[in-house]
Chain A
Amino acid sequence: MTEPVSEQHGNALLLEGSFNPKIFQPAWLAAQSLIREAEFESADIQILHEEVVAFTIDWARLEVRRDQLTVLSTPKSETPEQVRDLVLGMIQILDHTPVYSVALQFFAHYALKDQAERDKLGWTLVPPDPFKDNLQRPGMRTLKVLGRRPGAAEDDEDRVAVVIEPSARIRPNGVYVNVSDHYSLAEPSDSNVGAEPAIGCIEERWKDSMHRARNIATGIFSVT
């Protein structure tokens, strides 16, 4: 199967660390010129609380808890670099913020031609034989694969996680692929860590992560 064209794609950055959620408000982002004034004015705020902040602007959704910061693209995002730059901007300004790990996530929804094509993909990735004596028409619902990055040491605990499942956005024959590339930077017990390692990680690993996600998706659709 040639790789179908992705109908919708997006990306996210997830940081684990120690954050003060109340700082991360649309007004603050605009004051720091990280977003446009118009984006601040049209921000849709879900919650502003000292434990959690969550809001959406045109092209990104943010949620910040004490231990995690997530920025996710929306269907209106124009380029994945927007989300990356927003995260980089925030942690460059708050460079004293401890960040223990970074996950670079890329996902896409693909429209397959028909049910037969989707079934073929599912049965190739998860063969039905082990189930056929006990289940009628077994089909893959969610597949998660973990692996080390190519060239990583045997004892490297970081993983790339790939999730494949039916698309909730493209129905009836859509497939969703999510590749999450996780980088551990420090232990939470490390009192000296700031945001510098995370900044370096995002800048240096971004291109490789994105290409790897693309190659993984290509590999998935090439098996049938």
Chain B
Amino acid sequence: MSPAAELADILAQDNATAHQASPLERAGNDEVAFLVRPRVRYLAGFPLPDLPDGAEDLETIEPVEPVEGGSWGRRFVSPAVWTMASPSTDTFRALQRWEGVVLECRDESFLARLTDLTEEGPTEEVELSLSDVPREDLDLVELGAVFYWSIGYRDEVGGGRSRSSTLRFRRLPLWSKQELEAAAERAAGIARVFGEG
């Protein structure tokens, strides 16, 4: 068998497998993990393989390599394949969540106003330790910064469970429209107190 014919044989098997590996139905609930696209190989000079129904040809994204009898490359074909998220991952189950705003920064702690995100309730003011802030979020601790505090259980793949308390500072490039409006309202209220506006 010539190398080209042998390659064509391999390709035919590969492509059949690629088609089988691309079920069009969802694997589970409507939660998508990420896209997996089957590959279809072709050999230049040979007939292109049939694409699955609804598939569209995308351009070659890998270099074409010369082989005896021609050259071959790879291309991706769609449609998208949604695969179920792997269940083998740690999970976090929040028991209580707050949104906080930094009111004051101190040497080793900061004062914050907390709003309960789990249930309606009054806001609270608390002092939190800077040592509880993840290292990469320390630069974000400043007056007015927004953060989320979650307390819950972390269930590990191995079956362990631990109680977990996490702080995560919000990363937004700009003040949101709601925040600006809220700030404007507060400023207007303060101005009224001083008999202005």
A residues lining the B interface (CB < 8 Å) = 7-8, 10, 12, 32-38, 46-47, 49, 51-52, 54-56, 61, 63, 65, 70, 72, 74-79, 81-82, 85-86, 88-89, 92-93, 107, 109, 163, 165, 167-169, 176, 178, 199-200, 203-204
Among candidates A38, A51, A72, residue contacting B136 with C-beta atoms closer than 8 Å: A38
B30 touches A163 (CB 8 A): yes
Also in contact, A169 and B87, with CB within 8 A (given A61-B33, A81-B148, A107-B31): yes
| In the complex, chain A residues whose CB is within 8 Å of the CB of B178 | 203-204
B35 touches A52 (CB 8 A): yes
CB distance from A67 to the nearest CB of B (A): 12
Cβ-based interface call for B110 (8 A): no
Cα distance, A61 to B33, chains bound together (Å): 7
A82 touches B36 (CB 8 A): no
Also in contact, A49 and B92, with CB within 8 A (given A70-B32, A92-B172, A107-B30): no
A88 touches B176 (CB 8 A): yes
Closest 10 CB pairs of A and B: A168-B28, A75-B91, A54-B34, A78-B150, A36-B136, A54-B35, A46-B34, A79-B148, A176-B29, A168-B29
A72 touches B168 (CB 8 A): no
Cα distance, A136 to B58, chains bound together (Å): 46
Most buried by B among A12, A49, A55: A49
Cα distance, A107 to B85, chains bound together (Å): 14
What does the 1/0 interface line of B41-60 toward A look like (CB < 8 Å)? Answer: 00000000000000000100
What are 22 inter-chain pairs, A to B, with CB distance below 8 A? A38-B136, A46-B36, A52-B37, A52-B80, A61-B32, A72-B31, A74-B85, A75-B85, A75-B91, A76-B89, A78-B94, A78-B148, A78-B150, A81-B99, A82-B148, A85-B170, A89-B173, A92-B173, A93-B173, A178-B29, A199-B176, A203-B178
CB distance from B115 to the nearest CB of A (A): 11
Beyond A52-B35, A72-B31, 7 additional pairs, beta carbon < 8 A: A8-B91, A34-B173, A37-B136, A49-B58, A51-B58, A78-B148, A79-B148
Task: Tell me the nearest residue of chain A to B164, going by C-beta.
Answer: A78
| In the complex, chain B residues whose CB is within 8 Å of the CB of A203 | 176-178
| In the complex, chain B residues whose CB is within 8 Å of the CB of A49 | 58, 61, 76
Among candidates B32, B134, B148, B176, residue contacting A36 with C-beta atoms closer than 8 Å: B134
Interface size class of B (residues with CB under 8 A): 35 or more
Most buried by A among B89, B170, B173: B173
Task: Tell me the nearest residue of chain A to B166, going by C-beta.
Answer: A78
Among candidates A35, A46, A109, residue contacting B35 with C-beta atoms closer than 8 Å: A46
What does the 1/0 interface line of B146-174 toward A look like (CB < 8 Å)? Answer: 00101010000000000000101011111
CB distance from A171 to the nearest CB of B (A): 10
Cβ-based interface call for B93 (8 A): yes
Among candidates A56, A75, A85, A200, residue contacting B92 with C-beta atoms closer than 8 Å: A75
Cα distance, A124 to B36, chains bound together (Å): 38
